[in-house]
Amino acid sequence: MAAAVVWRRGAAWLRSCRGKVLRRGGSPETPGVPRARGCAGSREVVPTCERYAVRRLPFGRLADGDVAFFERLLPGRVVTGEEEVKPFNVDWLKSVRGCSQLVLKPQTTAEVSQILRYCHERNLAVSPQGGNTGLVGGSVPVFDEIILSTALMNQIISFDKVSGILVCQAGCVLERLSEYLEEQGFIMPLDLGAKGSCHIGGNVATNAGGLRLLRYGSLRGTVLGLEVSLCCSSAAPVLQVLADGSALDCLTSLRKDNTGYDLKQLFIGSEGTLGVITAVSILCPQKPKAVNVAFLGCQSFAKVLETFTTCRAMLGEILSAYEFMDEKCMELVETHLKLSSPVAGSPFYVLIETSGSNSTHDEEKLNSFLEQAMASGLVTDGTVATDDKKIKVLWSLRERITEALTHEGYVYKYDISLPVGKLYDLVTDMRARLGQSAKNVVGYGHLGDGNLHLNITAESYSHSLLDAIEPFVYEWTARCSGSISAEHGLGFKKRQFIQYSKPREAVVLMQQFKAMLDPKGILNPYKTLPERSTC
Ligand code: FAD
Ligand code: MLT
Ligand code: ZN
């Protein structure tokens, strides 16, 4: 029996077989985003240093003796050779490319600390890498930085079923953690389209937001503790020093701990520029017993907003996601991924998820909200899914927009926080500004969090199109007191625009923290913070 019901304004409600819903996400039936390493076809990527005319900083150059040292330290876990290293040099979007000659795959914190200590002594730059799904060019080198991959740091250390606290190594893949927890009646507090590839360490390093933030909040709240390997620095002597190097052990598993400054916050969202996160302690919620997803069509963005206000008021504590996308997104998902939407013909779509503990109660609430939304003309078309398979199908329409866009050619991605009422104005203004010079200008995102994903596509990269977009997009955002990065970070592509969202004093203080923890600046250089002279 079908469990997703398509309905239209004025049409009678159809009842469906409401199966148990366990989870959503990539699955054999609903292929998730392809594993990292090559989504956007096989075209050759222009080296970052050429496209953006970057100057290499005076770091040491890799010598045979360095490779020999790492081979002794990590036997069988050192990757060399142009072809073997290539996938680690190019980002998921295929938009930036470094020329590293070496990938290191440590398994333990002690090994990471030894690598950092050696690189510090030799003045060798290092680029930490998790699943390489980052979208701002932060996860790959710009020049020949050594790539430190957490791929083999994939052990779950402990899970406490009473407290719901998970402790694991940084290289655990998010989807693998979700599967492990679901077997025990829990879920991860975050979920994102890249779940099949991204690592929890990368999620923390970028302070990833994703599809569950509306319900469970940011990683700044759910991450309880971190273990971080640091470069040998002026701070090292006072840190807990491991046998082989220096690591900051803040891997506490406590809900409450008010003893001094909360140092782990410095590393959440630091994008590999302050230290290498080696282990994470995270608070995981109980798996909801009842999940419903509604996919609805709205005739205007004003109606998308009003639907949000109404559903917040009527669904209350069971509302767990409110996502939106414009019709162009749906068109691209259909054209490039052959995913057809059960709801068509509207300029905007919203995906509403409820999660609760009582299916009858949740369905009653959802139904009365939907009846009201239909009767008042807020939504004109829609479908509701209650079983796992149909829920995944609806979620993939939203989650796979990122992937569909890469089939268009080059994607200029912007991830903006704005007052929710102004969210779509930026898309409209950008469309008018760019006219025919862009292939598509689309908007989607986490509307419930005030987070717009503005994406502009073109056949290929061009400086002139970039100049038409930037700094216009950042000036527009700053005028509304928004943030130029809601969840993806600054990485390589946005670091020079930080001043649109942070005062000069804050940037200088950040640079001072960086200098204290990484005095030679070897950790993920050219990322996140502007060069000191520029501010
Ligand atoms: P990487 O891409 O490997 O690295 C990202 C940054 O973190 C780099 O600067 C790197 O140096 C640093 N880093 C990685 N591991 C460590 C470590 N152990 N210690 C220190 N630094 C480290 N983001 C969202 O916020 N919300 C979304 O909904 C979302 N959806 C996405 C959907 C798709 C299809 C894709 C491709 C990406 C999406 N992202 C989203 C981007 C997001 O930032 C990443 O997917 C994820 O958080 C990065 O994890 P990763 O392991 O791939 O890190
Ligand atoms: C999303 O919400 O889909 C992600 O942040 C990725 C993107 O912006 O495309
Ligand atoms: Zn997002």
Q: How many angstroms separate the CA atoms of 491 and 72, rounded?
A: 32
Are 27 and 42 found together in one domain? no
Return the ligand number nearest the Cα of 332: 2
Of 252, 283, 314, the residue at which a domain comes to its end is: 283
Return the structure tokens found at 74. Answer: 């990590």
Examine the domain organization and report whether 165 and 267 are in the same domain: yes
SS (H, E, C) 293-331: EEEEEECCHHHHHHHHHHHHHHHHHHEEEEEEEEHHHHH
Continuous segment of H or E residues that includes residue 417: strand 410-417
Residue minimizing CA distance to atom 45 of ligand 1: 133
- Ligand 2, atom 9, lies closest to the CA of 402
The whole-number pLDDT of residue 233 equals: 54
Identify the nearest ligand to the CA of 399 by its number: 2
What percent of the chain is helix, strand and coil (3-state, nearest 5)? 35, 20, 45
My answer on whether 397 and 417 are in the same domain is: no
Do 430 and 413 share a structural domain? yes
Instruction: Examine the domain organization and report whether 132 and 190 are in the same domain.
Output: no
| Cα 10 to ligand 2 centre (Å) | 34
For residue 445, report the distance from its CA to the centre of ligand 2, in Å.
7
Verify whether ligand 2 is closer than 6 Å to residue 448 (CB atom).
Answer: no
Residue 169 token pair: 């190594």
Check which CATH number belongs to the domain holding 422 and give it: 3.30.70.2740
Q: Which of 6, 3, 12 lies closest to 381 in space, CA to CA?
A: 6
**pLDDT per residue as tens, the chain (535 positions):** 333 344 433 332 322 322 222 222 333 223 334 433 333 444 689 999 999 999 999 999 999 999 999 999 999 999 999 999 999 999 999 999 999 999 999 999 999 999 999 999 999 999 999 999 999 999 999 999 999 999 999 999 999 999 999 999 999 999 999 999 999 999 999 999 999 999 999 999 999 999 999 999 999 999 999 999 998 655 555 454 333 447 899 999 999 999 999 999 999 999 999 999 999 999 999 999 999 999 999 999 999 999 999 999 999 999 999 999 999 999 999 999 999 999 999 999 999 999 999 999 999 999 999 999 999 999 999 999 999 999 999 999 999 999 999 999 999 999 999 999 999 999 999 999 999 999 999 999 999 999 999 999 999 999 999 999 999 999 999 999 999 999 999 999 999 999 999 999 999 999 999 999 999 999 999 999 998 765 4
Report the domain count for the chain: 4
- The last residue of one of the domains, among 384, 402, 420, is 402
d(Cα 95, Cα 415) in Å, to the nearest integer?
Answer: 16
Burial class (CB in 10 A: 0-12, 13-18, 19+), 156: middle
CB 142 within 8 A of CB 54: yes
Enclosing domain of residue 436: 408-501
Ligand 1 neighbours (beta carbon < 6 A):
33, 92, 127-135, 138-139, 150, 170, 192-194, 198-199, 201-203, 205-206, 208-211, 271-272, 276-277, 402-403, 487-488, 491, 524, 527
CATH of residue 272: 3.30.465.10
> Is 165 domain-assigned?
yes
Atom of ligand 2 nearest to the CA of 209: 5
Instruction: Tell me whether residue 519 is in a domain.
Output: no
Q: What CATH number is associated with residue 73?
A: 3.30.43.10
| Residue 100 contacts residue 80 (beta carbons within 8 Å) | no
Rounded to the nearest 5 degrees, what angle is found at the Cα of 508, between the Cα atoms of 505 and 509?
Answer: 85
Please give the Cα distance from 58 to 71 (Å, whole number).
Answer: 25
Q: Are residues 108 and 70 in the same domain?
A: yes
In a domain, 527, yes or no: no
372 shares a domain with 262: no
Record the pTM.
0.93
Half-sphere exposure of 64 (CA within 13 A, CB side): 0
Which ligand is closest to the CA of 125, given by its number?
A: 1
> Are both 359 and 309 inside the same structural domain?
yes
Ligand 1 centre distance from Cα of residue 65 (Å): 32
> Considering every ligand atom, which ligand is closest to the CA of 401?
2
Residue 345 and residue 277 in one domain: no
Contact 520, 231 (CB under 8 A): yes
Same domain, 274 and 170: yes
Q: Are residues 118 and 10 part of one domain?
A: no
